[in-house]
Amino acid sequence: MWKLKFGEGASNPLLRSSNGFLGRETWEFDPNGGSPEEHAVVERLRRDFTRNRFTQKDKHEVSNLKDSSEVTEEVLLTSLRRVLDQYSSLQAPDGYWPGGYSGILFILPLMNEDGGWSTHTLGPSSMFGSCVNYATLRLLGEVLDEHNDGLSKGRAWILSHGSATVAPQWAKIYLSVIGVYDWSGNNPIIPELWLLPHFLPIHPGRFWCFCRMVYMPMSYIYAKRFIGPITPTILALREELYDVPYNKINWNNARISCCKDDIIYPPSWFQNIAMASLHKFMEPLFNMWPMNKLRKRALTNLMDHIHYEDENSNYVGLCPINKVLNMICCWIENPNSNAFRRHLPRIHDFLWLAEDGMKSKVYVGSQCWDTALIVQAYCSTGLTQEFSETIKKAHDFIKNAQVTKNCPNYKRYYRERSKGGVVVIKDSTNPSRRSNSRTKVNKDGTLSSAESKRTTPWVEFINPSESFRNIIVDYPYVECTSSLIQALILFKGVHPGYRREEIDRIIKNGLVAAGRTFQNSLSIRKACNFLLSKQLSTGGWGEDYLGCQVEEYIDSGRPHVVHTAWGMLGLIYAGQVELDPAPLYRAAKELINMQLETGEFPQQEILGSFNSSLFFNYTNYRNLFPIWALGEFHRRLLAKRA
């Protein structure tokens, strides 16, 4: 039986933490744990998931309100208390809410109906997902024979779509590392790029942090042409993944080939010429004297940056991709090193167990982000006295998770100041935290995802990955900018004189938080009209995930609890309760009717996204946003009546 452990790690000499492992969650297997009844429940959940994995059913929904029923204040309070009682019971001892936070399939596999694997759990089969997941199963001991239907279908899909020779760039690199794809079939990832002057827009230090942190170890591994042990399984994979003998594959043709199912960002003609030149002329040159001296310097520089990232993240890394690649680099440098040994126990931080098996999280979690939103949701209900203990534990978690110091020598490693991150407004009277905090605001007052915007969008032309777009620049986002403006307005209320001119300049670009309303803002009126035009006849909202990929609204045709809550909140804050609450009553009724017997809300289509091409699950969204929407609606109705 598996058990979820919280905050553990102090007893392991290879693990370090700056906050006592606050928020750490790991699964531990106890072979003697669990009663027969508990084992039976687990097996039932597994069977249910397997049976229904290709369909989306909210089979535990109960009809709470009849069509003729009204959404009264009493009905709203009953619904809220049901979910708050259940949700509070799920709070971790540390004060946050644990969850899977997964969905990307080139980290761990999930089977598709046509035999292949996707890049993420929502999508159709891709060569990326199929190749790496097929290879993973073989390395884990699965055998290709007439009894293994999964592997047989997976191999058939790969071969029928062009074989592994048309895998996208990231898959080619992974396959090269294990020895089932020749390194000559890869486009160059030259480490010397890191030696360019930093003022150049194409210096990797100016890239979006996830891009540079992934391509940093990739370029090291590429330059080393590292290959793992060639075992009988690897030799078998060389036969299974291709439709011609391995020694007869034209690797130069494979280098510029990509399966059409994987192409989201097609390389330009300029990029093709540049890659061909690097492959044919520059890469051989860097491996000859005296240019190999420059290559050696570049690789030493990269390992310096990799060790810096590992040390300052306590070997967790920015995400599981760069964490694993950094670990491989440490192995290449010295397989017996302390750095490599410190990497191993941190693998457990990314693993999550659910009814669909063991998976990898996108990051080690979104504990601070989710908890901050959950606290706001609880506060919106007006029931803070009833759930004061839950809110206090959550507040303490956020307070104790605050970053209290900068990384050493951070500018040299292209990092930004981090001291003061995760601010609790009510605790901001502490001057040691307040005066040293700094938001990473762009020059135009917007906020990007992780750092300030460091380069220009035209640099995207060097994006080497066919499977992802918008990966070079850390673009500004509405969600991040809005959160910043709201936080600064709250902060200004506590400390009106602190950096007033700078804060006012950022706030003036806000909408509702900055005082704009339906009556005085064309932007808000247009937004409200858009939301109302997309409301379904049942009262809810539902958008297909592909809308993010094509960057236009695609109606899913069915209500989604989180989309419905978002639609409600947008209209509520714009003043819809005062103008005409009828659409909100219909939306609230939809939410209440989707509420489960437990009080929670159903897990539907996942809705986290980045790069307009990868989709993952914020597990807490399905509860926190309906709480927030129903709570805010109830509070506004009370205010209107008063």
> What is the DSSP annotation of 406-427?
PPTTGGGGT----TT-S--GGG
Residue 96's CB: how many other CB atoms inside 10 A?
27
pLDDT at 431: 38
Q: Dihedral of the CA atoms 359, 361, 367, 372 (nearest 10)?
A: -110
What is the pLDDT confidence band of residue 553, given thresholds at 50, 70 and 90?
A: very high
pLDDT at 121: 84
pLDDT at 60: 44
CA distance 573 to 589: 19
What confidence tens digit (pLDDT) does each residue in 58-116 have? 444 455 677 767 899 999 999 999 999 999 999 999 999 999 888 888 776 434 667 88
517: pLDDT strictly greater than 90: no
Cα(first)–Cα(last) distance of the chain, in Å? 54
pLDDT at 68: 61
Write down the H helix ranges in 517-620.
Answer: 522-534, 546-550, 561-574, 576-579, 582-594
Task: Please say whether the beta carbons of 567 and 543 come within 8 A.
Answer: no
pLDDT at 418: 86
Mean per-residue pLDDT over the chain, rounded? 91
438: pLDDT strictly greater than 50: no
What confidence tens digit (pLDDT) does each residue in 41-66 have? 989 988 988 888 776 554 444 556 77
pLDDT at 439: 54
Given the residues 149, 427, 504, 580, the one annotated as active site = 427
CA distance 535 to 586: 10
> Does 182 participate in catalysis according to the annotation?
no
- Name every residue whose Cβ is closer than 8 Å to that of residue 191 and which is 6 or more positions away in sequence: 219, 220, 222, 223, 295, 298, 299, 301, 302
Q: Could you tell me the pTM of the whole model?
A: 0.93
pLDDT at 548: 87
**3-state secondary structure string across 513-526:** HHCCCCCCCHHHHH
CA distance 310 to 198: 22
pLDDT at 428: 41
What confidence tens digit (pLDDT) does each residue in 165-220 have? 999 999 999 999 999 999 999 999 999 999 999 999 999 999 999 999 999 999 99
What confidence tens digit (pLDDT) does each residue in 406-430 have? 999 999 999 988 887 765 654 443 4
Q: Which two tokens stand for residue 16?
A: 């370090």
What confidence tens digit (pLDDT) does each residue in 124-176 have? 999 999 999 999 999 999 999 989 999 999 999 999 999 999 999 999 999 99
The residue-averaged pLDDT of 305-311 equals: 97
CA distance 106 to 118: 8
CA distance 205 to 451: 11
Percent of the chain past pLDDT 70, that is, above it, reads 94
Which residues on adjacent β-strands are paired with residue 351?
360
CA distance 639 to 577: 10
Higher pLDDT residue, 488 or 570?
570
CA distance 458 to 155: 39
What confidence tens digit (pLDDT) does each residue in 346-385 have? 999 999 998 888 889 999 999 999 999 999 999 999 999 9
Q: Dihedral of the CA atoms 377, 380, 386, 391 (nearest 10)?
A: 40
Q: Which two tokens stand for residue 91?
A: 């709070």
- Name every residue whose Cβ is closer than 8 Å to that of residue 343 and which is 6 or more positions away in sequence: 310, 315, 323, 326, 327, 330
| Residue in 633, 533, 625 with CA at minimum distance from that of residue 573 | 633
pLDDT at 89: 97
Q: Is 179 left (phi over 0), alpha (psi -120 to 50) or beta?
A: left
pLDDT at 49: 84
